[in-house]
Chain A
Amino acid sequence: MIRVVHYINQFYGGIGGEEKADVKPEVREGIVGPGMALKAALGTDAEIVATVICGDSYFNENIEEASAEVLGMVKKYNPDLFIAGPAFNAGRYGVACGSICKAVKEKLNIPAVTGMYVENPGVDMFKKDLHIVGTANAATGMRQAIPAIAKLALKLAKNESIGAPAEEGYLPRGIRKNVFKSERGSKRAVNMLVAKLKGEAFETEYPMPNFDRVAPNPPVLDIKKAKVALVTSGGIVPKGNPDRIESSSASKYGKYDIKGVNDLTAETYETAHGGYDPTYANQDSDRVLPVDVLRDMEKEGIIGELHRYFYTTTGNGTSVANSKKFAATFAQELIKDGVQAVVLTST
């Protein structure tokens, strides 16, 4: 019987949402939450002996300490396999799942698997170290994610050989393996080219890495004369969030007039951004969107002027596609309004 320890966050552990994200790690015997589905998918070969639950904020704010605590709990149950998540597109949960899987794998020498949406920041941080099963971006993808994770996890626990990412369902780790093909490379390349010319489907053998590099703009020639705009993914909005910008996975951005505004106060502005403790941003939104400092710089002649409008959205879980779409739209407005430089701030 393969002994499994499962790691989940406070939300899936039934402790609570964001307000409980600071709970310290605890361990419960047997299954909790998604462990029910995992148990069914693992079948009779494996048993989930314990579930470790930890708040996402606690883990991320105390990574070393929390890792050590969780590692101790895992070790006590002497498992043969460790599974974390799935975390879908939850950033801090993804980072927690990745960190703890890496620690279990490297320090306890136990196979570890997790699951995440491809855009989860945990993927880029840990894909080289771990098998991360690709999931949907929200918990509604649980039904598809769990069997895929269970299947790969059992293979790892039984020390079976693991195939290519596309066959096994994990995200590419950037590892190349030699394989034999019946046709030589030049012939395969020409076949691909012919298929491409005909407009037929073909699969590349070497996908070009996508670094998403943004070429820097030329420097601002004279910042003392430049019109500078503020743009933020930190969710600063006029108090009451008049356009109802979502606290995560934003589908829109806001444009707000700050003519005559010299200071963002707790009475006039706040953040709509979820997923972190907003206390300090709500007390003084200048901490995220520094209108006060830019007004000073405007007065002191360090910059030409502060643009009359700022643009804002929440970056929390917002897809890269949406972010690009927002920026493509308002960048045109900024150019039209004669803005020469943008200060982009986040949480």
Chain B
Amino acid sequence: MDLENQKRVLDLSEKYGKENMAVVLGTSEAESAGLTAETVTAGDPTFAGPLAGVSLGLRVYHIFELKDQVDATVYDEQCGMMEMVLDVDAINSEVKSIRDQYCQFKD
């Protein structure tokens, strides 16, 4: 996750409170989804950015996991195409595994 986005997430969590935030990912493959999810929960695994050593433990989901929460027409328009070409199961299970390990909010 690039350094500016780490800073944005950190600032937003300080402004609104970690409990009032969820991060929704749109990354296209499992490894990068996992790394991004790890950054906003356990901390920056590369130790280069503002979230190095900062474990926010935020709720984090990939948009594919939230399919049922989104208006079907909007989802189809925005994500339908990518859902067909990407490895949805691998992405979802990677993000879930990070969430289970590091998310502070078990709801």
By beta carbon, the residue of chain A nearest B42 is A143
Q: How far is the CB of A23 from chain B (nearest CB, A)?
A: 15
> With an 8 A cutoff between CB atoms, is B80 at the interface?
no
Q: Within A22-55, which residues are at the interface with B (CB < 8 Å)?
A: 33-37
Tell me if A139 counts as interface (CB < 8 A to partner B). Answer: yes
Instruction: Please give, as numbers and ranges, the residues of chain A lying within 8 Å of B53 by CB-CB distance.
Output: 36
Q: Does A126 make an interface contact (CB < 8 A)?
A: no
Nearest chain A CB to B47 CB, angstrom units:
4
Residues of B within 8 Å of A142, CB to CB, are 45-47
Give the total of B residues in contact with A, Cβ under 8 Å. Answer: 11
* B49: A residues at CB distance < 8 A: 14
Within 8 Å by CB of A143, from B31, B45, B52, lies B45
Q: Which residue of B lies closest to A142 (CB)?
A: B46
Q: Are A12 and B45 in contact (CB under 8 A)?
A: no
B30-72 residues with Cβ-Cβ distance < 8 A to A are: 31, 35, 45-50, 52-53
Say yes or no for A140: interface residue by CB 8 A criterion.
Answer: yes
B46 in contact with A139 (CB, 8 Å): yes
Tell me the minimal C-beta distance from B62 to chain A in angstroms. 18
CB-defined contacts of A140 to chain B, threshold 8 Å? 31, 35, 45-46
Distance between Cα atoms of A12 and B48 in the complex (Å): 5
B60 to chain A minimum Cβ distance, whole angstroms, is: 17
**What distance in Å separates the Cβ of B22 from its nearest Cβ neighbour in chain A?**
24
Q: How distant is B85 from chain A, measured CB to nearest CB, in Å?
A: 18
Contact (Cβ within 8 A) A36 B47: yes
Per-residue 0/1 for A289-332: is the Cβ within 8 Å of any B Cβ (1 yes, 0 no)?
A: 00000000000000000000000000000000000000000000
> Which residue of chain B lies nearest to A139 when distances are taken between CB atoms in the complex?
B46
Task: Establish whether residues A11 and B48, one from each chain, have CB atoms under 8 Å apart when the complex forms.
Answer: yes
Contact A33 B47 (CB under 8 A): yes
In the complex the two chains form, is B48's CB within 8 Å of A139's CB?
yes
Beta-carbon contact of B45 and A34 below 8 Å: no
Bound CA span A17–B48, Å: 10
A12 to B50 Cα, complex, angstroms: 10
Chain A residue contacts of B3, Cβ below 8 A: 17
Contact between A36 and B52, CB atoms less than 8 A apart: yes
Q: Which residues of A contact B47 (CB under 8 A)?
A: 12, 33-37, 139, 142
- Write 21 A-B pairs (CB below 8 A) sorted by A numbering: A11-B48, A12-B47, A12-B48, A14-B48, A14-B49, A33-B47, A33-B48, A33-B52, A34-B47, A36-B47, A36-B52, A36-B53, A37-B47, A139-B45, A139-B47, A140-B31, A140-B35, A142-B45, A142-B46, A142-B47, A143-B45
Apart from the given pairs A14-B52, A36-B47, A142-B45, 10 other A-B contacts in the complex at a CB distance below 8 Å: A14-B48, A17-B3, A34-B46, A34-B47, A34-B52, A37-B47, A139-B47, A139-B48, A140-B35, A142-B47
